[in-house]
Structure 1
Amino acid sequence: MLKLGIIGTNWITQQFVEAAAASKEYELTSVYSRHEESGKAFADKNGGQVYTDLDKFFNDGDFDVVYIASPNSLHFAQTLKAIDAGKQIIVEKPIVSNPDEFAQMKAALAEHPEIHVFEAARHIHEHNFRAIRKQLASMETISGATLTYMKYSSRYDEYLAGKDPNVFTTTFSGGALQDLGVYVVYDAVTWFGKPNRVHYYATPLRTGADGKGVAVLGYDGFDVTLNIGKNTNSYLPSEIYGVKDTIVMDNAAELTSVIYHAADGSTKRISEEPDDNPMIAEAKDFATVINDPKNPDNVRHYQTWLHLSEIVNSVLFDLRRKASIVFPADNK
């Protein structure tokens, strides 16, 4: 049983802790929060010793694996601290703010080869994601794709009220692209590879972050369009086009229902009913690698995931540059 420490006590941390418990691979032992009250409330519900000092958390906390779910701009420094502390690391997406931070993180990992850093891109670990990839391999031609993930954030109400929630500020490396956009960029990179060219048409907020936007990823012979947003809802399905055949997803990130429409007009459901908690699959996959790190399959899986993280990070950065979205983290 892996001992788990967490940084952050928001809703996504609660979901991961529940997934970790459901996987039967982790036990929550340590909780870090900047605020004693919120940390105690989380620990009272889920267990664990509470820390409000990050150094004490890493030095005194009894845990093997840390799950980092702090504001985006803090991921990099906290990941480096975790590497130095000898902890296995799961970081909520986006893993870091830019390619320079990613390169520094890789350099730190090279000095600690026993440590793994996993980006919590949960959907790529689910059966339905892999089912799409398998179906793509059988399609003779790929002619393009339209992938949509637009979901109204409750934090946007705060923004409209004149506040600046972390997720909607450049200060904390926020915005629609860095949040929901990560899912569809992961889709495109995993299914089609790194694009040759990118464009991002962002709708800016007063903070300089993007509330929504349309990205176009260019490949040899086709384009992939990404529709993303945190200040509105979309109920459009997502599609991958062959010539006469098409894969239709109810949602490019949730992947609850996936239908293959064949060239002859027939249809086939290629999805399974997902877990109630969508983070269970990733929790199991990460535990498998951590528990048996020298297994050749586990080594290969980890290297694949880290490489995907690096490409996604690069594509997100290139998209931001196209829209002139700059984070303070870019200028360090």
Structure 2
Amino acid sequence: MIRFGIIGTNWITERFLDAATHIEEFNLAAVYSRTNERAAEFAAQYSIPHSFTDLEEMASSDVIDAVYIASPNSLHAAQAILFLQHGKHVLCEKPLAANAQEVQQMFDTAKKNNVLVMEAMKSTFLPNFTVIQENLHKIGPIRKYFAGFSQYSSRYDQYKAGTVLNAFKPEFANGALMDLGVYCLYPLITLLGAPLEVKATGSLLESGVDSHGSAVLTYEGIDAVVSFSKVSQSSIPWEIQGENGTMLISKTSSPEHVEIQYNDGTMENLTVEMPYPSMYYEAKEFVDLVQRGQLESNVNSYYNSISTMKVADEIRKQIGLVFPNDLSLEN
């Protein structure tokens, strides 16, 4: 059994725990919250034996082997590094940190302490992403890639009414790119590697985060376009165009349907069943890695995570999006 601690008592944590119940080796042992009341409430909800309101105490305790971090993006690096320094394995929600330098610090700390750190980017572990990888050759040489994730945020209505919630605060390293755009970038880099060049455009809100944006990533003979927004809605599918046909994929964040439309007009449906909740697959990978003593995922690898963050950093640089985390690294 792998004894897990949980940081973050929000809806994403609840989805993660619902998925993790399908993993026999997953044992929920502890929860952290800033207040005793919320820690006790969450512990009672999930029958968690230990609760903490002090991260240092939790990290140094002997009641957990690993931690799942689902706190605000700006806190990921500092919290992960604390637990890694205490010899705890870390599964951290996407984006792994606020910038590439923080990601590198996390990796360096994990290596120094011989523990595992992995980004909880779910899409690359899903059965239909494996289908994409195994069948990509069928469309011939790749020429175009498009991935869009535009989802109108209910919090934007509150923003327009004068209430700025965490989703639109730069101090939490949030915004359209970090919340949604990374879902477009990570699979691209998993499939094609780091780009040769990035050209980006975007719009910033008065709060200081980006409301929407787009980027063109150039590869040898390939143009990749990613588009993301928290202030508009889109249903355009994710597609990869090759010389022999086009692969169409539904839902950038969680591919559920995959088909190829060949140039001759024929269509091949490649979709496979997904028997478990979408977050099960990342949790299962992490648990299996810990049990095998493997300190890096071959899927959500160091290379894929830091390459994605470097592209995000470049996009932010070009559109003028700066987080306090960036400034603290300079000082």
Partner of residue 53, structure 1: 54
**Is structure 2 residue 310 aligned with structure 1 residue 309?**
no
Partner of residue 94, structure 1: 95
**Is structure 2 residue 147 aligned with structure 1 residue 151?**
no
CA deviation after TM superposition for structure 1 residue 231, in Å: 2.3
Q: Structure 1: how far apart are the matches of 2:25 and 2:271?
A: 26
Helix, strand or coil: the match of 1:200? strand
Helix, strand or coil: the match of 1:23? coil
Q: Is contact 2:85-2:110 (8 Å) kept?
A: no
Instruction: Mark the runs of 5 or more structure 1 residues left unpaired by the alignment.
Output: none
CA deviation after TM superposition for structure 1 residue 108, in Å: 1.5
CA deviation after TM superposition for structure 1 residue 289, in Å: 0.7
Q: Is contact 2:246-2:260 (8 Å) kept?
A: yes
**Is structure 2 residue 266 aligned with structure 1 residue 266?**
yes
Q: Deviations over 1:225-246 (max 9, x none)?
A: 1111122221111211112400
Helix, strand or coil: the match of 1:179? helix
Q: Structure 2: how far apart are the matches of 1:223 and 1:87?
A: 40
Distance 1:39 1:61, change over 3 A: farther
Partner of residue 292, structure 1: 292
Partner of residue 137, structure 2: 137
Q: Is contact 2:119-2:300 (8 Å) kept?
A: no
Partner of residue 161, structure 1: 161
Partner of residue 321, structure 1: 317
Distance 1:90 1:215, change over 3 A: same
How does 1:189-268 map onto structure 2 within 5 Å? Answer: 189-268=189-268
Q: Is contact 1:30-1:61 (8 Å) kept?
A: no
CA deviation after TM superposition for structure 1 residue 38, in Å: 2.4
Task: Give the TM-score, by structure 1 length.
Answer: 0.93
Q: Is contact 2:142-2:241 (8 Å) kept?
A: yes
CA deviation after TM superposition for structure 1 residue 111, in Å: 1.4
Distance 1:106 1:61, change over 3 A: same
Partner of residue 76, structure 1: 77
Give the aligned length. 327
Percent identity between matched residues is 35
CA deviation after TM superposition for structure 1 residue 179, in Å: 1.1
Amino acid at match of 1:309: S
Helix, strand or coil: the match of 1:180? helix
Helix, strand or coil: the match of 2:96? coil
CA deviation after TM superposition for structure 1 residue 130, in Å: 1.4
Q: Structure 1: how far apart are the matches of 2:106 and 2:55?
A: 19
Distance 1:81 1:205, change over 3 A: same
Following TM superposition, the consecutive aligned residue runs of length 4 or more in structure 1 with deviations greater than 4 angstroms are none
Amino acid at match of 1:116: L
CA deviation after TM superposition for structure 1 residue 61, in Å: 6.0
**Is structure 2 residue 276 aligned with structure 1 residue 280?**
no
Q: Structure 2: how far apart are the matches of 1:35 and 1:137?
A: 52
Helix, strand or coil: the match of 2:172? coil
Instruction: Mark the runs of 5 or more structure 2 residues left unpaired by the alignment.
Output: none
Q: Structure 1: how far apart are the matches of 2:149 and 2:190?
A: 17
Task: Give the TM-score, by structure 2 length.
Answer: 0.94
Q: Deviations over 1:38-79 (max 9, x none)?
A: 222221211212211212222336111100000000001001
Partner of residue 179, structure 2: 179
Q: Structure 1: how far apart are the matches of 2:117 and 2:13?
A: 17
CA deviation after TM superposition for structure 1 residue 304, in Å: 6.0
**What value does the CA root-mean-square deviation take over the aligned residues?**
1.7
Q: Structure 1: how far apart are the matches of 2:298 and 2:267?
A: 34
